[in-house]
Chain A
Amino acid sequence: MQSLAQVPVVFSQVFNYQDHGLITETSRGVSALPPLDAHLAAWKKLDPTLARVGLIVGAGHESLRTEAEIAAQNHGVELRIQEAGSDQETLYHFKRIIHEIDGFWLFPDNRILSPRVLTEILQQANRRHVPVAVSNEAMLQLGAAISVSTIPSDIAATIVQVLERIRAGEIDTVPPMTQLSEVRVLTNDALMKPEVAAGTAESGGKGGSQ
């Protein structure tokens, strides 16, 4: 990135971009996650009874937390956010909030997740019939209930959009991270509530962008 200091750079698919110093004067990012509002809207649409959602995330994601809180407020969901510093702490907090939530929003923060903890979270959530929402369709195999993921064409279009604005000299007006606009929703019907599973359909939706 330093060697590319004068070259405008657009990055994408990096969750912990702040740890790598990817935001500079000439670099901008496209969000790795689908728009959280759309994510929550899709989840809420699938499960209208969703009322309390738990979220554990590592340090340095204040904007993400804000976005999640706004999305929760928009959709009438109470959001329980806990910050963790390690996978052990993630599991520790998860065990404490699992009894108070209707769903768990798993953000892909690799710093605070490990295979063991992932497995443990998904097993415990399944035992308690607490659906886990993820941003990766592959996680459905491990026990996640709903996947709201980005669409490659949307990622590509958003990247192109940002590139064009940068080329047009509007880099200063381009936010550090541009939100995606589309989501792809997939569910693991076996882990959804029966009434929810009956109404599940693959859907896409336009989400807002920051």
Chain B
Amino acid sequence: MTTILEVEQLRTRFRTDSGVVSVVDGVDFFIRAGETLGVVGESGCGKSVTSLSIMRLLPPNGSTEGSIRFNGKNVLALSEKEMQGVRGNEIAMIFQEPMTSLNPLHTVGKQIEEAVMLHRKVTKAEAKERAIAMLKAVGMPRAEEIYGEFPHQLSGGMRQRVMIAMAMSCDPKLIIADEPTTALDVTIQAQILDLMRDLKEKTGTSIMLITHDLGVVAEMCDRVIVMYAGQVVEETDVDTLFDSPKHPYTIGLMNSIPELDEEREYLETIPGAVPLPYQMPVGCRFAPRCSQAIAICHEKPPELLQLDNQKCRCWLYAKEGEQA
């Protein structure tokens, strides 16, 4: 399988009043054609900033270093005009809150058309046809009527379908979905996840699915990266991740969620909280919260090590590697 996106040593910094803070710090990952990569982590781990860096949608005080190669192109070296040809066309994005990402003053039909007209040489009538076809493809009932409706007339689930229709309208090679179902109820979430799986199978597009919900990861993803404090701490296929997670943070995360089909008196917890970007520990960034931390963890930052079935950023496994 070909690699569609390759991110190497991505570093994203923001200039703030309290100095320059590094929000994403040396992130490496790749996405193959047709696969779904899950990006997991809690708030502040840098997962959304990573996606905004790929789309080059950072606010003016943000800057990016490293390499982002998409389909053979170096995204960071593209001119703004070239980037506009990529955004919404080759890489599309679905955001968490569909109400704030749709324009309340335009009909949903017009907003989908806009994306099509921007990237394809089509007439207005063809664009309209495409918009209605897309609304049908995402399972909208009464697609012709909804074409002329405004976002506020639709429910949350319907709005998210519109966002997906818009994202899919130019047949992108990669869709970045940032918490696409977090704002939705579970029964609606199940509908949307089902739809995304369906569309992926039909079109063969790759998906980068950013989420904090391990259940969603288990159901949707082929491979997963786990992020903590701006770094990738574990990377593996989805089965290995759930069968034998290696990083203490991944393990802690898994044990701290209550499961529907399990009965546990107490949940395991990860003590403390995520460190602030300008107060990063010198050694491993997870060490202050880690129950297995050893001396070196507090002194030197670990590398992302290649293990048998996965990559893991943890000193505990470095030792194993040396002995072997």
A binds B: no
Listed in ascending order, the chain A residues whose CB lies under 8 Å from chain B are none
